[in-house]
Amino acid sequence: MLFNTHSHVDTGRQFAADRDEVVERARQMGVSQLMVIGFEKALLPVTLAFVERYDWAWAAVGIHPTSALEWDRDAERMLREAARHPKVKAIGEVGLDYYWKDSAPFELQRDVFRQQIRLARDLGLPLVIHNRDAHEDVVRILEEEGAGEVGGIMHCFSGDWAIAERCLAMNFYIGIGGTVTYKNNPTGRDVAQRLPLDRIVLETDDPYLAPMPHRGKRNEPGYVRIVAEFLAELRGTTLEAIAEATSANARRVLRIADPAGES
């Protein structure tokens, strides 16, 4: 029973024609719990409607760094209001993206990132962190803003072991997704092997970053099973052990009760 901690199946236009079928396939592939990400103002209502439809789905809400120009008092108000929803379990995805250089000024991204960390601390919610080509600034800002008080998930982690250690020290869990299966990602596999099992969560980031052998095609939330299988082989353990541990980790960081009745 797998917990996929990062999916965009709720809003991704790539799922417009067959969203219900994709969700059902995920269930058939063993996904028992799923977190979707409301990352723009216009998408928050769609995300909340999705998690209201499925009792096994949860949400994070935030303003993505590439949408930092959206940040204003109204955006903060919307996030505070959405965070009162019982199915909202995190603030995210928030962070820095230095890859898409024309999306939002980096200085603005850093300011909006700090404000959303403070919002998460004020609300007592964990963070879901987006970090693309900005490792040092992301970790430094998290440290400076006391993000360890709430912790969270380093989504689609792409740093090296030194960055991972700093994140672990701040009570963050490391999100492992399809990129760990890529042959040109030895650093990702090294980190995935060295991480404590009780600090790993699984994700897909669908419809993006599909694992092998689907790389370059549409990713699906059910493909988290492929990630789990690869991770089990990489670490010399079983799929069942990976599924049990990572699902428990996800529930712990997101403060979600075990559907089997354990906290």
Task: Find out whether 147 and 125 touch, Cβ atoms under 8 Å.
Answer: no
Q: Among 131-140, 186-195, 250-259, which stretch is predicted with the lowest mean pLDDT?
A: 250-259
Is pLDDT of 251 > 70?
A: yes
What does the pLDDT read at residue 261?
58
Tell whether 233 is covered by a domain.
yes
Tell whether 42 is covered by a domain.
yes
Tell whether 262 is covered by a domain.
no
Tell whether 14 is covered by a domain.
yes
Average pLDDT, the chain: 97
29 or 257: which leads in pLDDT: 29
Tell whether 168 is covered by a domain.
yes
What whole-number percentage of the chain has pLDDT above 90?
A: 97
Residue 12 sits in a domain of what CATH number? Answer: 3.20.20.140
CA dihedral over 64, 70, 119, 123, signed as positive or negative = negative
| pLDDT tens figures, 131-148 | 999 999 999 999 999 999
- Residues 17-35 have a mean pLDDT of 98
- Residues 247-261 have a mean pLDDT of 90
| pLDDT tens figures, 48-103 | 999 999 999 999 999 999 999 999 999 999 999 999 999 999 999 999 999 998 99
Is pLDDT of 259 > 80?
A: no
Tell whether 260 is covered by a domain.
no
Q: Which residues of 33-72 are buried (b: 16+ CB within 10 A; e: fewer)?
A: bbbbbbbbbebbeebbebbeeeeebbbbbbbbbbbbebbe
Tell whether 73 is covered by a domain.
yes
Tell me how long the chain is. 263
Q: Three-state secondary structure along the chain? A: CEEEEEECCCCCHHHCCCHHHHHHHHHHCCEEEEEEEECCHHHHHHHHHHHHHCCCEEEEECCCHHHHHHCCHHHHHHHHHHHCCCCEEEEEEEEEECCCCCCCCHHHHHHHHHHHHHHHHHHCCCEEEEEECCHHHHHHHHHHCCHHHCCEEECCCCCCHHHHHHHHHCCEEEEECHHHHCCCCHHHHHHHHHCCHHHEEECCCECCCCCCCCCCCCCCHHHHHHHHHHHHHHHCCCHHHHHHHHHHHHHHHHCCCCCCCCC
Is pLDDT of 262 > 90?
A: no
Is pLDDT of 263 > 50?
A: no
Instruction: Give the residue numbers spanning the domain of 35.
Output: 2-254
What does the pLDDT read at residue 98?
97
- Residues 187-199 have a mean pLDDT of 98
Tell whether 188 is covered by a domain.
yes
Q: Domain count of the chain?
A: 1
Question: pTM for the whole thing?
Answer: 0.96
Is pLDDT of 244 > 70?
A: yes
pLDDT-derived band of residue 257, with 50, 70 and 90 as boundaries? confident
- Residues 193-216 have a mean pLDDT of 98
